[in-house]
Chain A
Amino acid sequence: MKKQIKNSLTRKVNGKRHLTLTGRKAVTGLKFISPLLIGLLFFFGVPLIQSFIFSVGEIKTNSTGYTIDYIGFANYKNIFFKHASFIPTFVRTLKDVVWNVPLILIFSFFVSVLLNQKFKGRMLARALFFLPVVINCGIILKIENISYMETALFHSGAEGTAMSNMLGGVQLSEYLMKLGIADSLISYLTEALAQVYSIINASGVQILILIAALQTIPESLFEASSIEGATAWENFWKITFPMVSPYILVTTVYTIIDSFLRVDNSQNMSALIDTTVDNMNYGLAASMAWIYFIAIGAILGIVAFVISRYVAYTD
């Protein structure tokens, strides 16, 4: 068994410490990533620590800066026991995420398999699916939610975000009612329709990643397996799926992060934290953000851990 000789970074020569080649390469590497180091330290680490300090205090801003009264974990206690909308919003966001993430993943996977095949108009289809990535972010997404266009146009009396009245969701429900279908089923269906829209919107980057992942699978594997007589179903589960599994992990992590931080829903956590900030209750907002963050981190950690046990690494 060959023993790994550890490359040291420095070497003593005639009593003086010199860098070895490995050492010099390491220094160059550090030079290359220096922007990140500066960024992590000053523009991320420091604000992060500050934000934690804020979360255990009450902030009052004045003309020259701010003052902090340290009130310990009162902010956190407030959130859990007194604040009216934090827990419900939080639970609702969690439910949304748990519901949406698998759907987004399945949808993206399905679409990427579809878009990976050769057919006429493939470029057009791909351009179509990436369009939401380009268009539906930031301000446009915010506008979507405060726009009552569909409500106005389709003369619906119902409330809700633009999505839930989308695309004849209104006509559909009226039609279904005429058919005599139960009310609860109708509302479920229209909800599902609205969800479809947000799922499609949220899938752009995932489709991108998964298409690239699918293209790493060598064609020869499929050829060999079809010679051996494998069906398409077996091909999928024995070749495609395992080979893509590392990227499914990446995509899952990205999807979870993305769906937590999207500004889709006006009742979402982001909106809640934003309004708290606008109300100048920075300490409270900071503690909300921290709780939110810890929750996201915990969920991510668990999911990543569970999935990575099933990932088949080929390198």
Chain B
Amino acid sequence: MKKIDGYALKRRLGGIGIFIMRTVFLLGIGFYILYPLFLKVMAAFMSEADIYDATVSVVPKTITFDNFKTVFETMNFPAAFANTLFLSAMVMIFQIISSMLVGYGFGKFDFPCKNLLFVLGIFTLIVPPQIIIFPLYLNYVNFDIFGIFTAINGEKLSFINTYWPFVFSSLFCTGTQGMMFVYMFRQYFRGVPKEIEEAARVDGAGEFKTFIRIMMPSATSVTVCVAVLSFVWQWNDIFWTSRYLRGTELLSVNLYSLTTDVTSKIGASNINLAYESILNSTGAVMVILPLVLAYLFVQKGFIQSVERSGIVG
């Protein structure tokens, strides 16, 4: 007669128990994460009447595309989309280049004050951007390196409403979380064995050539991670864009001023809190949608890159 193995049964039950717990937990958290997004999407299709309808709590009774039309026109979506795409892509590329260079320098070389410089860099992460935003803004409004421009043009250059501030911040590792990317690359390059470098040396490659031919191609996983994060953060950025690019058509800036724009279009009497929330939700959905789509494509590589990159060594 077959004896029921108590141990195996216990393990089986324990396994099922863990499975249930884990699934419940993940479903619960997943709900928390997806619910706001879901609500926004539902709200985007709602007509104003649905908000006042007591029987409607999440799914709209009347599906309307009017909100999308309004937001599309008010936000000047095509232009804003193109500009945001350009800006985010440019910032992403520049940040990848600069953080890779700097991370490699910190990871593979020794020079005086190396640790001090690195700590100073991390310092930029700690300092609240509100401290430097105003002086930076002033510097950009009256941009003048050592009086060269005044000498040539007779007046100072203003970089406000151009992309130059972002070029500078991404190219010189001073953007939002710029040093975090440097840190990632540094950790990665620290883990690359010295033998590879030495082999390249023996084969006659100089320092820069080693970097371009060998180090850069091997760092794809970290690069993917940095690319995703910098692109997304720039796409959604409102802090810097609202100050440097206020007059430019950008998705984040236009979304921020969406309700005021619509109010000025249709008159203050036609707008109320409920309609504002519908507009905001629609706008948010339209702004995030490209990101979500891109994320769906990229997420596999992105998450695997975390595993393989040795971000943390």
Which A residues lie at the B interface, using CB under 8 A? 9, 22, 25-33, 35-40, 42-44, 46-48, 50-51, 54, 64-66, 111, 114, 119, 121, 123, 125-135, 137-140, 142-144, 146-150, 152-155, 166-167, 196-197, 200-201, 208-209, 211-213, 215-216, 247, 250, 254, 257, 260-261, 263, 270, 273-274, 277, 282, 285-286, 288-290, 292-293, 296-297, 300
Contacts and interface: CB of A to CB of B under 8 A. Distances in A.
A153 B57 contact: yes
Nearest to A213: B312
Nearest to A41: B172
The 9 nearest A-B residue pairs measured at CB: A29-B109, A39-B172, A32-B105, A138-B236, A50-B135, A26-B111, A33-B105, A47-B135, A47-B132
Interface string B106-146: 10111110100100110011111111111110110010000
Given A30-B111, A37-B117, A47-B135, 7 more contacts: A25-B109, A135-B291, A138-B252, A149-B278, A149-B281, A201-B33, A212-B309
A131 B292 CA distance: 8
B232 interface: yes
Interface residues of B, number: 100
B131 A289 contact: yes
Contact of B32 (A29, A51, A140, A197): A197
A134 B39 contact: no
A296 B125 CA distance: 11
B131 A51 contact: yes
Interface string B262-275: 00000000000110
Give the most central of B98, B105, B134, B255: most A CB within 10 Å.
B134
Nearest to A208: B306
A297 B127 CA distance: 8
Interface stretch (B4-12, B65-73, B297-305): B297-305
Contacts of A38: 172
With most chain A CB atoms within 10 A of its CB, the pick from B40, B125, B133, B139 is B133
A65 B138 contact: yes
Contacts of B238: 138-139, 142
B277 A149 contact: yes
Contacts of B303: 123, 126-127, 130
A40 B124 contact: yes
B258 to A, nearest CB: 9
A288 B128 CA distance: 11
Given A40-B121, A211-B306, A260-B128, A138 B135 contact: no
Contacts of B25: 114
Interface of B: prevailing SS: helix
A160 B287 CA distance: 25
B30 interface: yes
A33 B169 contact: no
B280 A143 contact: yes
B168 interface: yes
Contacts of B274: 148, 152
Chain A interface main SS type: helix
A307 B26 CA distance: 30
Contacts of A257: 125-126
Contacts of A22: 110
A132 B278 CA distance: 21
A169 to B, nearest CB: 12
24 contacts: A26-B110, A29-B105, A30-B109, A33-B102, A38-B172, A39-B171, A39-B174, A44-B127, A47-B135, A51-B132, A114-B22, A125-B26, A130-B299, A138-B239, A142-B238, A147-B277, A148-B273, A148-B274, A149-B43, A149-B280, A201-B33, A263-B239, A285-B130, A290-B131
B307 interface: yes
Contacts of A39: 168-169, 171-174, 178
Given A44-B174, A196-B32, A277-B134, A270 B128 contact: yes
A263 B273 CA distance: 22
Nearest to A300: B126
Given A40-B174, A149-B43, A150-B39, A65 B288 contact: no
Among B51, B121, B131, B174, residue most surrounded by chain A Cβ atoms (within 10 Å): B131
Contact of B256 (A65, A139, A208): A139
A130 B309 CA distance: 17
Contacts of A140: 236, 284, 287-288
B291 A286 contact: no
A196 to B, nearest CB: 7
Contacts of B56: 153
B41 to A, nearest CB: 11
A33 B174 contact: no
A47 B43 CA distance: 43
A132 B51 CA distance: 27
Contact of B102 (A32, A130, A152, A260): A32
Contacts of A254: 180
A143 to B, nearest CB: 5
B128 A33 contact: no
B56 to A, nearest CB: 8
B306 A212 contact: yes
Given A130-B303, A147-B281, A200-B29, A274 B256 contact: no
